[in-house]
Amino acid sequence: MNRHAPSSNRSRDGSALLVVLVMLGVIAILAAAVARSVSGAALELSASRATEESESDLRAGIELGVAAILTLGADVRSAEAEANLRGRHLTVRATNERARIDLNRANADVLTGLLMNAGHDNAEAAALAANIVEWRGGGVADASAGWPQDEHQLGVQPQSIGFDTPLGAAPRQTEKQAPSLHMFIHPVQLVSVPGFSKGLVRNLFPLITVANGANEINPFIAGPGVLSALPGATPDSVAGFMAARDGNVSHETAIQLLGVDRKLLSDDAAAGWRLQIARTRGGRVRHSEAIVAVNSDGTDGDQPYRVLYVLDDVDKAHH
């Protein structure tokens, strides 16, 4: 009478086993989802922490460089400093921005020399230089008038600006300037001037600045590319000057060898400084450059410096 009972029991046992297997499958899926969620949260936390540490290291490097500049005094034009912090090592090289040609303050002759040195003939270079002057409003823009008043406006926060940044995201001139004049507050803005391609601006990038504040350069900290841009300089005169300044020769003799108009030269320090910062953490080295305006004479209140902009590893690769 119960001859079919065993079969019914086996059926119920099979159904129960199927339910168990389904439940185990669901649990496995949920466990995997939870694991992915936890892993994703951990990765986000790790990335956030790495970003905070990177910004902290950058800030520490800037503070270290500014401290070296202020400690060494008014006669310093370049300096180096290093420090060991918990779990990382910082090295900073500071160079006064009078070593570079200022896009806002350089006159047409210096700009023409800069562009001839980049490979353009005299007519092409003069036309491009005229485009810069015209973009500035036909005159010389005052770079200091448009510099950010604190580092949160431009620099460490919120972003650095490079060649791949859309032009619309580039910093704009401030309301302090006359509307008829433009100014450069980042060299990458040169790509917005007619005739200047990204490739040309990349080639010029190691030679130009917005933080010199004058038409003059300091030949004793400038590189050969900047010296070659000065009207009157020749490859031979630049080579002779470079050898003389690195040797036991007086400054006066070296300047005579350079053979350029002395009105283009200055030993005065600019307010702008370039801090080349290397941060070593866990065997990985990250390079950044921070361009800062240092308040060495106390004319800018209690604020010892202002960050103008920052170049990170990606930007540096374009130099």
Confidence of residue 15 (pLDDT cuts 50, 70, 90): low
**pLDDT the model gives residue 160:** 45
Among 75, 103, 70, residue whose Cα is nearest residue 214: 103
Given a cut of 70, is residue 291 above it in pLDDT?
Answer: yes
Identify whether the C-beta of residue 291 lies closer than 8 Å to the C-beta of residue 274. Answer: yes
58-107 pLDDT, tens digit each: 899 999 999 999 998 888 899 899 998 888 899 999 999 999 999 999 99
Say which residues have a Cβ less than 8 Å from residue 14's Cβ, sequence separation at least 6.
none
Given a cut of 50, is residue 46 above it in pLDDT?
Answer: no
Structure tokens at 189: 């803005």
Q: How far is CA 280 from CA 88, 219, 275, in A?
A: 5, 32, 16
Q: Calculate mean pLDDT across residues 261-268.
A: 94
Q: Calculate mean pLDDT across residues 194-216.
A: 95
**pLDDT the model gives residue 27:** 52
Q: In the 8-state DSSP scheme, what is residue 175? A: T
Pick 144 or 154 by higher pLDDT: 144
Structure tokens at 24: 């185990």
Given a cut of 80, is residue 295 above it in pLDDT?
Answer: yes
Name residue 102's beta-bridge partners. Answer: 209
**pLDDT the model gives residue 210:** 95
Q: In the 8-state DSSP scheme, what is residue 127? A: H
Structure tokens at 261: 């108009």
Query: Helix, strand, coil % (nearest 5) of the chain?
Result: 45, 15, 35
